[in-house]
Amino acid sequence: MTAQEKSWKEIAPAGVCWKPSTKFLTGDWKTYTPLRDLEKCTRCLLCVLFCPDGAIRWNAQKGDIEFDLNFCKGCGICANECPTKAIEMKLE
């Protein structure tokens, strides 16, 4: 138990969650990291849709996709599904 954990008097009843999981980073699980070839990428966004971890996002302002390695678990679905083979999984 850590000092951050609260006593029974401090927490809401019935286990109402008080932190979003976006505060829990899963990026250190991975052994492979996705590398994208910007030339080959057509921005079809299939990787954004298929990523189980929501770790690839469409940045509308930039008009491009972004990898959030804080959450990427290195599964390689993005690389496998990329129609132009623009993503390569690299051993960390």
- 71-86: burial string, b at 16+ Cβ within 10 Å, e else: bbbbbebbbeebeeeb
CB neighbours of residue 59 within 10 Å: 9
Asked if 91 interacts with other proteins (CB under 8 A), we say no
Nearer to other proteins, 7 or 39 (CB): 7
Number of residues that bind other proteins (CB under 8 A): 49
86 belongs to the binding site for other proteins (CB under 8 A) = no
Q: CA 36, CA 83: separation in Å to the nearest integer? A: 13
Residue 19: CB minimum distance to other proteins, A: 5
Q: Does 36 bind other proteins (CB under 8 A)?
A: no
